[in-house]
Amino acid sequence: MSAASQYVQLSSGYQMPLVGIGTFQVTGKNRIHDVIDEALNVGYHSIDTAAVYRNEEDIGYALSSGLLHKYGLERENIFLTTKLAPSDHGDPRQIRNAVETSLRALGSNYIDLYLIHWPGAARIPENSVDNIKLRSITWQTLVDLKSQGFLRSIGVSNYTVKHLEHLLQDCHGVKPAVNQIECHPHYRQEQLRDFCNKEGIHVQAYSSLGTSNENSLLKDSIVCNIAKEINVSPAQLLLKWALQQGIGIIPKATQKQHIRDNIKLDFDINDDQMKRLSVLPQKKYAWNPDNVV
């Protein structure tokens, strides 16, 4: 089955493509246009952004200025994910304004998936218990906005098991549909993934290729050797490692060949190769939410 045609059924009842195009640090109207143009051309139907990426308006412009028509698509054929900034976390009025701002920027009357970007509020120390209360307020507000039709699915990002346990104690009848987390062979997050699977929360990975200046994940000898065995790139191997386990992926790319390669995942990693990838030393590359109460 083509990676472009794989979907996951979310707890909200909506389907989400397992592979999306990430847009972190992709800015500029022309650059965004070119990335989305090529992504739609090769089969991506999911776009991941966030308020803090400052590119929602350019994404909305690209979609509304002819790209959807170019590929015979309608708005409902595209799955748009965006996220609440930590600076808007915990204040119902600011949350509603943030959602309205994202809707206007994206040129849509609904958002397919809206995530709380970070478990802590920007103005609150990480070790403050106020973060628990603010997360609850934020979630209740998102549940209300979902019930009004502005948000089709709601979820979280960078939530640990403890953050999810707090949320599920008082989730107002709506569990998170997705938890978007750093996940790759160097940071497998098995306990968190098991918890999410048990609770029906889909795990979507970011930083699938690692995010270090040394690119140590892409250069890992075991990763490179297995990639050679299968005759794929290390990047494709790392993306397939997640996809083969049902983990969603949103790789960022700006070069046409990378955009194409990142969805060309029609191969299998055998059991022995998966075992070798699943015993690599653990190293976190991105932000660490563990200290947020």
Residue 103, burial from CB neighbour count under 10 angstroms (0-12, 13-18, 19+): buried
**Cβ atoms 267, 228 nearer than 8 A:** no
Q: Which two tokens stand for residue 176?
A: 């998170």
Give me the residue label for tokens 């200025």.
65
Binding site, annotated residues for substrate: 117
What is the longest distance spanned by two Cα atoms in the chain? 54
d(CA 149, CA 99): 12
Q: How many CB atoms lie within 10 A of CB 72?
A: 8
**Cβ atoms 157, 201 nearer than 8 A:** no
CA Rg, the chain, in Å? 18
Which residues are CB-neighbours of 281 under 8 A, at least 6 positions away? 186
| Catalytic hit among 14, 44, 53, 114 | 53
To the query of whether residue 7 is one of the catalytic residues in this protein, the response is: no
d(CA 151, CA 223): 38
Residue 157, burial from CB neighbour count under 10 angstroms (0-12, 13-18, 19+): buried
Sheet of strand 178-182: strand arrangement: 21-22, 46-48, 79-84, 111-116, 151-157, 178-182, 202-206, 248-249
Q: Where are the beta strands (DSSP E) in the chain?
A: 7-9, 15-17, 21-22, 46-48, 79-84, 111-116, 151-157, 178-182, 202-206, 248-249
Active-site residues, by number, are 53
